[in-house]
Amino acid sequence: MFNEFKRAFTENKRAIYIAIVILIVSMVLGYFFEPYLYKYLNPVVEDLTQKVQSGVVKLTFADIFLNNFKIICEMFILGLLFCFSAVILSFNGFFVGYYVAFSGNLFEVLLYIIPHGIFELSSCALACASGFVLFNFLYKFLKALLIQEDGSFKNKLANSFDSSYDKLKQACILFVTSVILLIIAGFVEAYLTIPIAEFVIGVLG
């Protein structure tokens, strides 16, 4: 099992690195282009703030996890649509960068983001990478299917699936790892982020 996990990461390093670069670049752009993104992203911030204040959205482990789980599922599944995962990851990166810039107090907002953000952003990057690998599986499957000349269509499907199965398995391994990181992130955000941030602010304030 360990070897399977190791292979999933080593054989798909490029996909993981690309996802990390997309996330970092989008966050940096979101931060520096905050004035230009205001009219597009501020309504999202205001809507989220209003829902939290009204109790529609609760900062419980279940709510936090389920909301983020929906996002990483979209990144995984929509990877089949020509790596559309990258668009979803970019939007989330833009939003994080925008929110940090919009909040004004860089040190304080980072205190409220970093404890769980380390795990949550890593989870998002891995989910995006798993979407890339899933697209790679689809590409290999269709390529293998089209180049076969002999045999029934059923056998062609079976042979194509067998030849590309490794990529499907590796995509699922990356996604499961992403879910594990998201569980950790949800726990930290629900129970540890605010106490840690308040403690540091209290000590330094």
Tell me the three-class secondary structure of 40-108, residue by residue: HHHHHHHHHHHHHHHCCCCCCHHHHHHHHHHHHHHHHHHHHCCCCHHHHHHHHHHHHHHHHHHHCCHHH
Residue 58 has pLDDT above 80, yes or no: no
Confidence of residue 151 (pLDDT cuts 50, 70, 90): confident
Average pLDDT value over all residues in the chain: 91
The reported pLDDT for the residue numbered 205 is: 65
Cα→Cα distances 50→14, 45, 46, 199, Å:
40, 9, 6, 26
Q: Is 156 helix (H, G, I), strand (E, B) or coil?
A: helix
- Separation of first and last alpha carbons in the chain: 48
106 vs 51 pLDDT, higher one: 106
Lowest pLDDT segment from 19-28, 49-58, 75-84, 177-186: 49-58
Question: Which pLDDT tens digit goes with each residue over 93-103?
Answer: 999 999 999 88
Residue 166 has pLDDT above 90, yes or no: yes
The reported pLDDT for the residue numbered 13 is: 96
Q: Which two tokens stand for residue 5?
A: 């996990």
Whose tokens are 């230009």? That residue is: 36
Report the alpha-carbon distance of residue 62 to residue 6 in Å, rounded.
30
Q: How many domains does the chain have?
A: 1
Rounded average pLDDT over 98-110: 89
Q: What is the pTM of this model?
A: 0.92
The reported pLDDT for the residue numbered 105 is: 83
Residue 44 has pLDDT above 80, yes or no: yes
Report the alpha-carbon distance of residue 190 to residue 164 in Å, rounded.
40
Q: Which residues form the domain of 191?
A: 2-204
Supply the DSSP symbol for 150.
Answer: S
Confidence of residue 49 (pLDDT cuts 50, 70, 90): confident
Report the alpha-carbon distance of residue 124 to residue 142 in Å, rounded.
27
Confidence of residue 122 (pLDDT cuts 50, 70, 90): very high
181 Cβ neighbours under 8 A, 6+ residues apart: 119, 120, 122, 123, 126
Residue 2 has pLDDT above 70, yes or no: yes
Residue 176 has pLDDT above 80, yes or no: yes
Report which secondary-structure segment, H or E, holds 22: helix 13-32
